[in-house]
């Protein structure tokens, strides 16, 4: 059974949230990414970040732009990814890390 788990998150303030997720070894996106040495696809990491943001907002984020996204290191299956979100006006900044190491960072917001 393919799965990914979010923890439910902790709201630190009205402008910040911390949460985490894990992509299991049997997730279907890993089959071809990369055989024998699987890495969680960046688009799946972004999907989980947006899902956490939507849960925090209590509604879908709708059409959005991603003006800045940088992947620094790969996330491996079975690793717990820590997500930090920070509201900045209509935009949201995020960082994804594992065991204190930055994996990805960026921002998203409404299309302008």
| Mean pLDDT over the full length of the chain | 89
User: What is the three-class DSSP state of 73?
Assistant: coil
User: Using 50, 70 and 90 to split pLDDT, how confident is the model at 2?
Assistant: very low
Structure-model confidence comparison of residues 33 and 53, the more confident one: 53
- In a 10 Å sphere around its CB, with 0-12 CB exposed, 13-18 middle and 19+ buried, how is residue 3 labelled? exposed
> Which among 97, 94, 96, 11 has a CA at the least distance from the CA of 57?
11
Could you report the per-residue pLDDT of 48-74, keeping only the tens digit for each?
Answer: 999 999 999 888 887 789 999 999 999
Number of Cβ within 10 Å of residue 50's Cβ equals 17
Residue 111's pLDDT is 82
Whole-prediction pTM: 0.88
Domains of the chain and any CATH numbers: 4-110 (3.10.129.10)
Q: In the predicted model, is pLDDT for residue 86 greater than 90?
A: yes
Q: Tell me how long the chain is.
A: 112
> Which segments of the chain does DSSP mark as H helices, in order?
42-57
Could you report the per-residue pLDDT of 88-98, keeping only the tens digit for each?
Answer: 988 999 999 99
Average pLDDT over residues 103-107: 97
Query: Are the CB atoms for 65 and 112 separated by under 8 Å?
Result: yes
């Amino acid at each position: 059974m393919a799965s990914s788990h979010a923890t439910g998150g902790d709201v630190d303030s009205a402008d910040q949230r911390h949460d985490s997720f894990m992509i299991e070894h049997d997730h279907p996106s890993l089959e071809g990414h990369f055989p024998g040495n699987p890495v969680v696809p960046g688009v799946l990491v972004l999907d989980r970040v947006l899902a956490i943001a939507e849960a925090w907002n209590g509604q879908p984020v709708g059409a959005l732009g991603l003006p800045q996204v940088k992947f620094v290191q790969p996330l491996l299956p079975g690793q717990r990814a820590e997500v930090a979100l920070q509201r900045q006006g209509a935009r949201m900044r995020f960082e994804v890390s594992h065991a204190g190491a930055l994996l990805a960072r960026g921002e998203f917001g409404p299309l302008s």
